[in-house]
Amino acid sequence: QKEVEQDPGPLSVPEGAIVSLNCTYSNSAFQYFMWYRQYSRKGPELLMYTYSSGNKEDGRFTAQVDKSSKYISLFIRDSQPSDSATYLCAISRGSNYKLTFGKGTLLTVNP
Amino acid sequence: GAGVSQTPSNKVTEKGKYVELRCDPISGHTALYWYRQSLGQGPEFLIYFQGTGAADDSGLPNDRFFAVRPEGSVSTLKIQRTERGDSAVYLCASSPRDGPNEQFFGPGTRLTVL
């Protein structure tokens, strides 16, 4: 079993839709949870991180962690064509530790 | 301020050749990571430096891969006797020593082995 599983999609939505992206992980030792956005032929860009169960909101983005279910989510409200990218979840056992990434979900927001 | 930079942006080489990939981290970041990303996959960890020393090199696939960070800033990833399977995007990330594990990535070096 992989340490982190992410549906690769692709996911295609109309502009203005609410997008839900999800990952599951297998080991309760993971403490830090991150979402990265990656545009084509660019490096990953950190969107959000959290290290506790619950929700964290930043503008149109909400990250949600449920440690009891080992499930992490990213919600995008009022999606825009500029949100079209690959979204990667990443988990870590702690500070100064390697990240383990999901495969990434390719999102297209159609105008 | 300046982000993580990587050079070259693209590298094409022939099977069996030696290549060096360079990473300049964000100034003041003590932690530096190398990852490799194949098409359609998420980045996979290769090696992590804290200062000058490799704190975790468990992701290096074999002894053809080696990385250094002699002064605790710039790092070089070295690949000997390249194989076609080494073709990928090599990503570098840096992180401050303290605080949550926020890693900031460079644009990557796209390596193609013919």
Each residue of B34-59: pLDDT tens digit?
Answer: 999 999 999 999 999 998 999 899 99
Q: Are A34 and A91 in contact (CB under 8 A)?
A: yes
Segment B60-87 mean pLDDT: 97
Give the SS3 label for residue B86.
Answer: helix
Residue B26 has pLDDT above 90, yes or no: yes
For residue B1, the model assigns a pLDDT of 58
As a whole number, the mean pLDDT across chain B is 94
Residue B97 has pLDDT above 80, yes or no: no
| Contact residues for A59 (Cβ-Cβ < 8 A; gap 6+) | none
Q: Are B42 and B89 in contact (CB under 8 A)?
A: no
User: Which residues, given as ranges, of chain A have pLDDT below 50?
Assistant: none
Residue B2 has pLDDT above 90, yes or no: no
For residue B37, the model assigns a pLDDT of 98
Cβ of B40 within 8 Å of Cβ of A45? The answer is: no
Closest of B38, B14, B39 to residue B114, by C-alpha: B14
Distances (CA, A) of A60 to A9, A40, A75, A77: 21, 22, 8, 5
For residue B23, the model assigns a pLDDT of 98
Determine the residue among B103, B109, B110, B111 to mutate to test chain A binding: the one whose Cβ has the most chain A Cβ atoms within 10 Å: B103
For residue B99, the model assigns a pLDDT of 64
Closest of B40, B17, B25 to residue B89, by C-alpha: B40
Q: Are A82 and A16 in contact (CB under 8 A)?
A: no
Minimal Cβ distance to A96: which of B93, B101, B104: B101
